[in-house]
């Protein structure tokens, strides 16, 4: 009898375990179904914003010059007459001042405080703070009373470059600009320097690039830093020499992406901005 009962009890226990397991798994499936989260919305591609075409160009320029061994510096957008003009070899009566259509602020002495018309004042600030050798780039926003058209904006961006060391020559400037052109625009592009005039560099040149279609486009000015400018920055022109350049970043972005009109970059039209 005992043996029979044992066998029967084992059979009942086995059946009970099987059924319990079945019921448990059914309950788990039901709970999973009940509590399931629909994550499919995260699987579809979401639209994300990105940096503006001019910010992208600035960051790319910074990358290229950091790769060439340059450091980044910044200066204020509100400047004094001294840094924007005087220290750059443009004394009060200098005719070149009128080429920069300046916006002055009603602050302090009349015409003494202004919105910087170029990034060149940062050259002086860097020379006053960093002992040479200096290999620096200075990107930033600049302001001029220019009427907007396909290549001009009243608020635009420049990137200044400054190299001060012993034995720097015009050949270093030309080589740096050519290396930069190829790195930024690609190997289809070449650069040329045309004689020009800036009070703060001597000799001075205008920097053009040639596009793949053969057309030449002016991108900025450059030259050997004028001895008076080195003196303003507290550097001995007998011991050190250097070169400087200033390029329009908005124009570079325009050329790199074949944008027809510079104003398009600032209308905040998403259909335009999303392309880049
Ligand atoms: C200058 O501003 C000098 N500071 C450049 C320089 C620096 C020369 C260091 C020598 C040594 P310019 O006024 O030519 O030069 O302006 C330089 C570039 O800024 C122009 O070639 C152009 O690419 C850009 N630019 C000038 N005005 C405008 C504008 N209104 N809108 C957009 N880009 C502009």
Q: Does the CB atom of residue 222 touch ligand 1 within 6 A? A: yes
Do 213 and 241 lie in one domain? The reply is yes
- Alpha helices (runs of H) in 88-213, residue ranges in sequence order: 121-129, 170-185
DSSP strands (E only) in 97-189: 103-104, 113-115, 134-143, 155-165
Closest Cα to residue 170, out of 137, 147, 204?
204
R_g of the chain computed on alpha carbons: 33
| Contact predicate 164/136, CB 8 Å | no
Give mean pLDDT, residues 68-90.
96
CA 198 to CA 175: how far, in whole Å? 20
Q: State the Cα–Cα distance between residues 241 and 148, nearest whole angstrom.
A: 37
Residues 63 and 38 in one domain: no
Q: Ligand 1 pocket: which of 181, 221, 245 to mutate (most atoms <8 Å of CB)?
A: 221
pLDDT at 97 > cutoff 90? no
Evaluate: CB of 209 within 6 angstroms of ligand 1: no
pLDDT of residue 44: 67
pTM of the predicted structure, to 2 decimals: 0.83
Quick: pLDDT tens for 208-227.
Answer: 988 778 888 888 999 999 99
- Encode pLDDT of 134-178 as tens digits: 999 999 999 999 999 999 999 999 999 999 999 999 999 999 999
One domain, residues 261 and 235 = yes
Q: What is the band of 93 on the pLDDT scale with cuts at 50, 70, 90?
A: confident
Residue 47 counted as domain residue: no
Share of the chain above pLDDT 90, in %: 75
Is residue 139 situated within a structural domain?
yes
Q: What is the largest CA-CA distance in the chain?
A: 126
- Are 115 and 153 members of one domain? yes
Residue 220 and residue 184 share a domain? yes
Distance 132 CA to ligand 1 centre (A): 25
Domain match, 103 and 196 both? yes
Distance of CA 106 from the midpoint of ligand 1 (Å)? 25
Domain encompassing residue 94: 53-273
2 and 112 both lie in a single domain: no
What percentage of the chain exceeds 70 in pLDDT?
98
36 with 57, same domain: the answer is: no
Cα(156) to centroid of ligand 1, in Å?
Answer: 10
Same domain (yes/no): 11, 94: no
Statement to judge: residues 35 and 57 lie in one domain: no
**pLDDT for residue 42:** 65
Whether 187 and 260 map to the same domain: the answer is yes
Query: What is the number of domains present in the chain?
Result: 2
- The pLDDT value recorded for residue 49 is 86
CATH number of the domain that residue 191 is part of: 3.30.930.10
């Amino acid at each position: 009898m005992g043996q029979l009962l044992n066998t029967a009890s084992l059979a009942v226990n086995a059946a009970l375990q099987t059924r319990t397991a079945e019921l448990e798994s059914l309950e788990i499936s039901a709970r999973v179904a009940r509590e399931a989260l629909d994550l499919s919305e995260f699987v579809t591609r979401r639209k994300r914003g990105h940096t503006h075409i001019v910010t992208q160009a600035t960051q790319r320029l910074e990358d290229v010059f950091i790769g060439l061994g340059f450091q980044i510096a910044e200066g204020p957008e509100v400047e004094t007459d001294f840094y924007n003009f005087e220290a750059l070899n443009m004394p009060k009566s200098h005719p070149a001042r009128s080429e920069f259509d300046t916006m002055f602020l009603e602050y302090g002495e009349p015409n003494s405080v202004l919105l910087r018309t170029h990034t060149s004042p940062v050259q002086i600030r860097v020379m006053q703070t960093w002992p040479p050798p200096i290999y620096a780039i200075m990107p930033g926003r600049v302001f001029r009373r220019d009427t907007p058209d396909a290549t001009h904006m009243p608020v635009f961006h420049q990137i200044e470059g400054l190299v001060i060391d012993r034995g720097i020559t015009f050949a270093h400037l030309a080589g740096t600009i050519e290396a930069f052109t190829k790195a930024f625009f690609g190997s289809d592009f070449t650069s040329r320097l045309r004689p020009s005039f800036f009070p703060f560099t001597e000799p001075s040149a205008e920097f053009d690039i040639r596009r793949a279609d053969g057309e030449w486009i002016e991108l900025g000015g450059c030259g050997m830093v004028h001895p008076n400018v080195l003196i303003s920055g507290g550097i001995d022109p007998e011991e050190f020499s250097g070169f400087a350049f200033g390029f329009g970043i908005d124009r570079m972005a325009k050329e790199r992406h074949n944008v027809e009109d510079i104003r398009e970059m600032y209308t905040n039209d998403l259909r335009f901005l999303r392309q880049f």
